[in-house]
Structure 1
Amino acid sequence: MPDHSTPLIATIVVGLGLAFAFGLVAQRLRVSPLVGYLLAGVAVGPFTPGFVADAALAGELAEIGIILLMFAVGLHFSWRDLMSVGAIAVPGAIVQIGVATMLGLGLALLLGWGVVAGLVFGLALSVASTVVLVRALQERRLMDTERGRIAVGWLVVEDLAMVLALVLLPALAGATMAGSVAPGNLLVTLAITFGKVALFGAAMLVVGRRAIPWLLHYVAHTGSRELFRLAVYVIALGVAFGAAKLFGVSFALGAFFAGMVLSESKLSQRAAEEALPLRDAFAVLFFVSVGMLFDPGVLLRDPLGVVAAVLIIVVGKSVAAYGIVRAFGHGHATALTISASLAQIGEFSFILAGLGVALGMLPAEGRDLVLAGAILSILVNPVLFFAVDKRLPAAVRSPVPPPAAPAPAESGHEVLVGYGRVGALVGKRLSAAGRKLVVIEAGEDAAEAARRDGARVIIGNAADPEVLAEAELGKARRIFVAIPEAFEAGQVVQQARAISPDLEILARAESEEAVEHLTRLGATLTVMGEREIAHRMLERALARGAHRPAAAH
């Protein structure tokens, strides 16, 4: 039994431990680990027997998770990508949010909650989970297709709408008196709120737009990875905290603006990579804390309400999205894919429902229905995609990149795993030398950079056997494993050696232990940065020393 005299440690250890166990089970069942994290929260919540985590501490940990999640949303936000599909994504998302909100309002009125609670409830049911949607598209190699770009653009518009809702809800709550809204108070409160947001936005554009990228570039030139990573966290958390204390806006909005400003920097990709470990850890704690708030008894007390909420998410949103996409002249396959992508809810739904309850705008039962709807819709989502896949021809449901040009008999193509800082240097030199290059990359920005450099790109995780198979290693001359994560790189090396025993495998390592690990799994040559730097420096020093006469004493 955990030591209750250390509630913070107990909450973190038990929360992460159960999240890992439940998430692993969810992964094995081929559903989103997010479901496992939520169920872990239910297990340590006050509505189930056994250990009960400290709700106040869990709430503060969740706030850090929200800040880092919103920072990541801002960091990956791209006006260019949004504008490329804006003609359908902007009106489509707005209309779909409106339909879902009205359906949620209707259910709330039937349950006797009132209009304000109904609007908050409906908004929470209207926005899809970024984690679930992106994973579903990546699994089907759809991120780089028109359908994938529309779905992601649609999601970006939903996220922006929810950011606006997070700004407006406290203002609406402040102007609401005795169940009714006084128009004069509402206008004044909204004016003050938008004024504070405008001041904060101006400060970020005038000061933050210069100071934040400058700070990151300065730290990057120190050469310290630890300081760079710390700088990223300080920017995300510091701007969010400052926004709340100085301008009265939410942590979430402050973190979103910090990420959006930083996204214009050339170091944004590296910042995203460095923020990932801590962001993932606190995001897990966020989902655990949300699960703690869920009362499973609602499934027995109000089964019809749960079913109605799930139908709004899975059927109501899907039908609306399908009709909107078709109305804009897109095909059946595109409409079905986007409908299935949006038929679930997640992170923003939890944030909105939690804020609504905290402000007294939504009853706790409403939050329970949102959480039940999220868990069940995420469980159902793979089934919907399976049904969509069955209705579409194989070439349509999962487009495969065009095959590479035939390689000369005397030499095969080069395969490069990862197109980050190291991979991009390798790829550019290979392309300049006229080599036929196939790049395996999961990140959209890096994949686009590889395409610009003339490579054929396979979107996905190279540790996935199906993704690696697309690179045709049996015909390849060699493979470069340029990703820094030793565990994932080891999986790639091991599979590549099994596919082609004679293949030359060149791998990157970050430590002596990683060198041994990758060599043991079959790498032909494993290169560690620090060791190679030392060799080059000694080569030059010793070569010069051999030809220079000794100094006179």
Structure 2
Amino acid sequence: MHSSLQLVLILLAVAVLVTAAARALRLPTMLGYLVTGIAIGPFALGWIPESEEARYLAEFGVVFLMFSIGLEFSLPRLTTMRMTVFGFGGAQVGLTIALAALIAWLLDLPLLAAIALGGIISMSSTAIVSKLLAERLEIQTAHGRQIFGALLFQDLAVVPLLILIPAFARESDEMASILALAILKAVLVLGFLLFVGQRVMRPWFQWVASRKSPELFTLNLLFFTLGLAFMTETAGLSLALGAFLAGMLISETEYRYQVEDDIKPFRDVLLGLFFVTIGMRLDLMLIAANWGDVLLLVAAIMIGKAALVAGLGMAFGSTRPTAVRTALGLAQAGEFGFVLLAQAADLKLLGSEITQPVLAAMVLSMLIAPLVINHMDVLTRLIAGNEWAGRAKEVHDIAVKTFGKSRHVIVCGYGRSGQNLARLLEAEDISFVALDADLERIRAVAASGASVVYGDASRREVLVAAGLSRAQAIVVTYSDLPSSMAILRHVRELRPELPVVVRTMDDAHIDALKEAGATEVVSEVMEGSLMLASHALMLLGVPLSQVLKRIRMVRESRYAMMRGFFRGASDADSTLDQESQPRLHTVLVTQGAAAVGRSLEELMLDELLVEVVAIRRQGIKGVDPQPETEVRVGDVLMLRGAADGLAAAEFRVLQG
């Protein structure tokens, strides 16, 4: 028998190795935990025996996962995406449950167990899909938005399923009354927490925050989350439901983002333990004896779900290629499916002869998912055939809309920035045509008579149809590097003299966009900093003409004065590309340093892709150091470059 300390040490060692391997292979750590659980569980190496204590501890991972889902619950967001979430997502979950339950029932599985199995199979993996789509820069595409709408509804659908499955596990003559009682309890608890808990929770969190103690805030957060989970479990519901309600309550307060950061370490560690315990449930000998059934289940889950989702996508107005991409993204099983399967197995609703093949098929489908999504384009061409028929209609619609336009502006993207730009162009009586790939937005603005058409601006034929040969400018209003580079490539081939203004999030890609042919690159972060600085300077009494001159100088130098920044702990999880982003670093030149008495040119820091942007000497900062500037003892050099280059540059300055 292993001691508790041995179990903890094994789990910690596994967590370290799995996380490192997953990062190296660029795979979600969840898959690593599942495989590890299979390896070290009682049916394989047997390093960790199966026990109720381990399962109960792992359930806290689900608690914190549901809490995080509750934090993401936003009524405004759901309202904005209501058709995608409740229409497409609701249809996907409902029809998947119905179809899977019907097939299972026809195969002699009891009806209630078949419905539970349908709910398990209807889930897809938020963790895997979101990571892969983010890496492919496809979250804001038509299929990306449809996939995330379905995933959001699946997250919400887990809550009633967590209530229904325990009721399904009771005797049939008691089931109706137990189910009614469970629903009544859920309504009462939900009503109490929403109407009473909100009024108590907000002032309490304000009081805790006013103590300005991070430890107190974190302890209060854990107490609040686990307390509500305990309340719902005591009421005969589940721990996960209480955690979801706790997250939902906090999501409407100003503490949401602080809470999300505080809860993340607990969630990730305990959730990893949960997936290890899920893997430990898998009996490899039983799977090996029934490998044919497992492979058949994998095919049924992935092909069946994909076919259903593709049909729904086209029914909701998506093009065939978009529907196929959405189907490929949602074809696998999901982490909440494991939650529901574990609950059904523990309640004896599903026996081991069902849970073992289903569990194996779910794990395999999730292992296959990265391969499917990363080859989505190739598979779409094979399945959907030639996309030119759909594209021809799209191009025809654009050409009709732009017929007769000349000296107009092509606005790529009709989001908030694109709409604001369009209003200003209209005010100046400048003709424009806007291209946007969001069908829902196109439908919303159709009644306004705005000159907006459906089309992917990164495609050559779309730009030609939009009157590229007659346009006087192009403005890319969204921040998407691959799409912007594609637009610039087409313009350079067809109209190299045409001015193009491109929007980007930060300064990481300014030079690349300029080299690709952008006339102007507008950085959101830099422009925001310029506006903040200009207001501050004017309030400090700097003349308006001087402020405007300074801003013009910064823009003309491609924001050179503002490129790079000193990083802090709060930037550790930034979504920016940490390696390519330039950093700032200061080096104090001490007595005996190798750089003393040498010019900046002699140091040859440019070999390391590092530049000296300023020198502070005796309290005076030189803004524009020259190559012939000599380094002296006591100088503070402000360096800009990538992290590895800065380290090498500091060594060269001090050691030679």
Partner of 1:213: 202
Question: What letter is aligned with 1:501?
Answer: V
Kept after mapping to 2: 8 A contact 1:412/1:476:
no
Aligned residues: CA RMSD = 3.6
Give the CA deviation at 1:414. Answer: 6.7
Partner of 1:286: 274
Partner of 1:508: none
Is the counterpart of residue 56 in structure 1 residue 155 in structure 2? no
Structure 1 Cα separation of the partners of residues 527 and 257 of structure 2: 18
Structure 1 Cα separation of the partners of residues 300 and 91 of structure 2: 15
Kept after mapping to 2: 8 A contact 1:100/1:312:
no
Aligned to 1:480, what secondary structure does the other structure show? coil
Structure 2 Cα separation of the partners of residues 204 and 488 of structure 1: 33
Aligned residue among 239, 242, 257 for 1:251:
239
Map 1:465-480 onto structure 2 (within 5 A). Answer: 477-480=562-565
Structure scoring higher RCO (CA < 8 A, sep ≥ 6) equals 1
Partner of 1:492: 578
Question: What letter is aligned with 2:3?
Answer: T
Is the counterpart of residue 377 in structure 1 residue 365 in structure 2? yes
Give the direction of change, closer, same or farther, for the CA distance of 1:52–1:389 in structure 2 (3 Å limit). Answer: same
Kept after mapping to 1: 8 A contact 2:166/2:347:
yes
Give the CA deviation at 1:65. Answer: 0.5
Is the counterpart of residue 268 in structure 1 residue 367 in structure 2? no
Structure 2 Cα separation of the partners of residues 364 and 241 of structure 1: 29
Give the direction of change, closer, same or farther, for the CA distance of 1:270–1:302 in structure 2 (3 Å limit). Answer: same
Question: What letter is aligned with 1:264?
Answer: E
Kept after mapping to 2: 8 A contact 1:71/1:259:
yes
Is the counterpart of residue 432 in structure 1 residue 549 in structure 2? no
Aligned residue among 338, 344, 350 for 2:332:
344
Aligned residue among 646, 649, 653 for 1:522:
646
Partner of 2:75: 79
Partner of 1:242: 231
Kept after mapping to 2: 8 A contact 1:299/1:306:
yes
Give the CA deviation at 1:428. Answer: 5.4
Kept after mapping to 2: 8 A contact 1:130/1:346:
yes
Give the direction of change, closer, same or farther, for the CA distance of 1:412–1:35 in structure 2 (3 Å limit). Answer: closer
Partner of 1:12: 8
Partner of 1:113: 109
Give the CA deviation at 1:370. Answer: 2.9
Aligned to 2:43, what secondary structure does the other structure show? coil
Give the direction of change, closer, same or farther, for the CA distance of 1:204–1:474 in structure 2 (3 Å limit). Answer: same
Aligned to 1:205, what secondary structure does the other structure show? helix
Give the direction of change, closer, same or farther, for the CA distance of 1:476–1:172 in structure 2 (3 Å limit). Answer: farther
Give the direction of change, closer, same or farther, for the CA distance of 1:144–1:473 in structure 2 (3 Å limit). Answer: farther
Structure 2 Cα separation of the partners of residues 296 and 488 of structure 1: 38
Give the CA deviation at 1:157. Answer: 1.1
Partner of 2:139: 143
Give the CA deviation at 1:38. Answer: 0.6
Structure 1 Cα separation of the partners of residues 527 and 287 of structure 2: 54
Give the CA deviation at 1:80. Answer: 2.1
* Cα-to-partner distance string for 1:19-72 (whole Å, 9 max, x where unaligned): 432343344334322111011111221101342245222101111111100000
Where in structure 2 are there 5+ consecutive unaligned residues? Answer: 382-386, 388-455, 460-479, 485-501, 505-509, 536-556, 584-606, 615-641, 649-656
Partner of 1:458: none
Structure 2 Cα separation of the partners of residues 473 and 113 of structure 1: 67
Aligned to 1:337, what secondary structure does the other structure show? helix
Partner of 1:423: none
Give the direction of change, closer, same or farther, for the CA distance of 1:332–1:43 in structure 2 (3 Å limit). Answer: same
Structure 2 Cα separation of the partners of residues 293 and 118 of structure 1: 21
* Cα-to-partner distance string for 1:393-452 (whole Å, 9 max, x where unaligned): 9958x874653388999x997785xxxxxxxxx9855443369xxxxxxxxxxxxxxxxx
Give the direction of change, closer, same or farther, for the CA distance of 1:31–1:40 in structure 2 (3 Å limit). Answer: same
Map 1:97-108 onto structure 2 (within 5 A). Answer: 97-105=93-101, 108=104
Structure 2 Cα separation of the partners of residues 88 and 491 of structure 1: 31
Is the counterpart of residue 386 in structure 1 residue 400 in structure 2? no
Structure 1 Cα separation of the partners of residues 244 and 88 of structure 2: 23
Give the direction of change, closer, same or farther, for the CA distance of 1:35–1:523 in structure 2 (3 Å limit). Answer: same
Structure 2 Cα separation of the partners of residues 53 and 287 of structure 1: 15
Give the CA deviation at 1:309. Answer: 2.0
Is the counterpart of residue 35 in structure 1 residue 31 in structure 2? yes
Aligned to 1:433, what secondary structure does the other structure show? helix
Give the CA deviation at 1:293. Answer: 0.9
Aligned residue among 160, 163, 166 for 1:164:
160
Is the counterpart of residue 501 in structure 1 residue 625 in structure 2? no
Give the CA deviation at 1:369. Answer: 2.4
Is the counterpart of residue 200 in structure 1 residue 189 in structure 2? yes
Kept after mapping to 2: 8 A contact 1:99/1:317:
no
Kept after mapping to 2: 8 A contact 1:415/1:480:
no
Give the CA deviation at 1:354. Answer: 1.1
Which of the pair has more CA radius of gyration? 2
Give the CA deviation at 1:522. Answer: 3.2
Question: What letter is aligned with 2:325?
Answer: T
Q: How many residues align structurally?
A: 453
Partner of 2:466: none
Kept after mapping to 2: 8 A contact 1:243/1:254:
yes
Give the CA deviation at 1:211. Answer: 2.1
Give the CA deviation at 1:349. Answer: 0.7
Structure 1 Cα separation of the partners of residues 130 and 613 of structure 2: 33
* Cα-to-partner distance string for 1:289-331 (whole Å, 9 max, x where unaligned): 1111111223322223212221232111111111111111122
Structure 1 Cα separation of the partners of residues 613 and 165 of structure 2: 59
Give the CA deviation at 1:201. Answer: 0.8
Aligned to 2:359, what secondary structure does the other structure show? helix
Give the CA deviation at 1:101. Answer: 2.7
Structure 2 Cα separation of the partners of residues 427 and 306 of structure 1: 56
* Cα-to-partner distance string for 1:247-285 (whole Å, 9 max, x where unaligned): 222111111011011100011011111111111111101
Partner of 2:221: 232
Is the counterpart of residue 368 in structure 1 residue 477 in structure 2? no
Question: What letter is aligned with 2:220?
Answer: A
Kept after mapping to 1: 8 A contact 2:18/2:33:
yes
Question: Which 10-residue stretch deviates more, 219-228 or 50-59?
Answer: 50-59
* Cα-to-partner distance string for 1:455-498 (whole Å, 9 max, x where unaligned): xxxxxxxxxxxxxxxxx999784123556267668993686369
Give the direction of change, closer, same or farther, for the CA distance of 1:146–1:228 in structure 2 (3 Å limit). Answer: farther
Structure 2 Cα separation of the partners of residues 334 and 434 of structure 1: 45
Structure 1 Cα separation of the partners of residues 344 and 117 of structure 2: 8
Partner of 1:89: 85
Give the CA deviation at 1:106. Answer: 5.2
Q: How does the TM-score come out when normalised to structure 1?
A: 0.73
Structure 2 Cα separation of the partners of residues 487 and 77 of structure 1: 25
Give the direction of change, closer, same or farther, for the CA distance of 1:113–1:186 in structure 2 (3 Å limit). Answer: closer
Question: What letter is aligned with 1:522?
Answer: L
Kept after mapping to 2: 8 A contact 1:476/1:503:
no
Aligned to 2:217, what secondary structure does the other structure show? helix
Kept after mapping to 2: 8 A contact 1:16/1:284:
no
% same residue: 30
Aligned residue among 126, 129, 132 for 2:125:
129
Aligned to 1:330, what secondary structure does the other structure show? coil
Aligned to 2:565, what secondary structure does the other structure show? strand
Structure 2 Cα separation of the partners of residues 486 and 32 of structure 1: 22
